[in-house]
Amino acid sequence: MMKINEEVSLETVVGKAASLLFSEYRFVTMTTVDCDEYFDIYYHFDKNYELYTLRLKVEKPGVVPSISKACFAALIIENEIQDLFGITFTGLVVDYEKHFLLAPDAPEKPFCHVPGVKITTVDSPAAKKDEVAK
């Protein structure tokens, strides 16, 4: 289970990320989860092999300030998230405008949930074995 160390807001995320970097934390990556009505964005930092995670809840369609001015490496994952989830990061130091990974004719926001479509089970041999055991 992932431990959330701190909740941040649109107003505090850049300052908090910068303060962690100033405190010798290393930016690791970001994770995005489509929660239907909103997105959860997790910012992962590391210091002395201990992960420190910030969570930002963003209403859809999602406009978030970029942390790339404080942490240049973040521009890669922020551009990926723009492509895959359609979230807009404002102030990116290099902005591929949602064509970092995707070709011009690729589907838009391929990692977002399709409204009205829910996946309730995973069709795998392990899931079938569990179902038979019940």
Instruction: Look at residue 89 and tell me if it is in a domain.
Output: yes
Each residue's pLDDT tens digit, 47-77: 999 999 999 999 999 999 999 999 999 999 9
Tell if the pTM clears 0.75, that is, is over it.
yes
β pairing state of 63-65 and 50-59 = unpaired
Whether 123 shows a pLDDT value over 60: the answer reads: no
Residue 87 lies in a domain: yes
**CA–CA distance, 69 with 91 (Å, rounded to integer):** 8
19 domain residue, yes or no: yes
**What CA–CA distance (Å, rounded) separates 129 from 131?**
5
119 found inside a domain: yes
| Residue 33 lies inside a defined structural domain of this protein | yes
**1 within some domain:** no
CATH of the domain at 104: 3.30.460
Structural domain count of the chain: 1
Which residue range is the domain that position 27 belongs to? Answer: 6-133
